[in-house]
Amino acid sequence: MTTALVTGANRGLGRHFALELLARGTTVYAAAREPGTIDLPGARPVALDITDPDAVAAAAALAGDVDLLINNAGISTGTPLLGDLEGVRADMDVNFWGTLAMVRAFAPVLAANGGGAVVNVASALSWFAFPGTGSYAVSKAANWNMSNALRLELAGQGTQVTSVHLGLADTDMARGVDGPKTDPAVVVRRVLDAVEAGDLEVVDDDWSAMVKASLAEDPRAFYARFLSA
């Protein structure tokens, strides 16, 4: 891959994706709602709100040489499904609809540039939920199966779709959450190496692997730890 666009590139995993890509000699469009917050020498800042159709279309027109799209932008409102419906909608608008809008806009760009690849940053929470994560977990579950469907729909143009799943990375989003956290620089190196190797899914840590494996088991055992708390 020679040219990438990274959403949410001003902080967290997105910033680390942009830094690692630049270190690998990739041309990087670093996208954020406020492009002035991009402080990455060598990157090309792009103003982008992925929930704004006009902004998404403008980004696709601007970055016509992209062969790697990294859909990193995401939010977590902490809204339960029976809570504030606006919070539920906000999680879905960014984590599902906004991500899908980016793929729809950039699919022709990727096709014109030889196929390329799409990376969708999902979560271990694509495969389970715990109290306080309802709308986020649902949005990331939708994100995961979106990747599965897009992988089939984009196969004809030679576009690889890779879904990324991890527990906690040491970023702003996980600042108030207890538990072991992975160095985000390590995460992005693994992901980019996996994309180059043609991997379709990155399960980044033991927790995510355990959660995915539990899907084949009786859910009562898995959810007992939350229901008895």
Whether 223 sits among the annotated catalytic residues: the reply is no
Distance CA(117)–CA(114), nearest Å, equals 10
Query: What share of residues in the chain are helix, strand, coil (percent, to 5)?
Result: 50, 15, 35
From 123, 73, 133, 134, select the one nearest 101 (Cα to Cα): 73
Which of 29, 136, 181, 212 is an active site residue? 136
In sequence order, the 6+-apart residues with CB closer than 8 A to the CB of 8 are 14, 31, 32, 72, 73, 74
Which of 29, 140, 212, 223 is an active site residue? 140
In sequence order, the 6+-apart residues with CB closer than 8 A to the CB of 159 are 107, 110, 111, 115, 116, 117, 118
Distance CA(193)–CA(170), nearest Å, equals 20
Distance CA(179)–CA(76), nearest Å, equals 17
Whether 29 sits among the annotated catalytic residues: the reply is no
CB 131 within 8 A of CB 87: no
Indicate which residues carry an active-site annotation. Answer: 136, 140
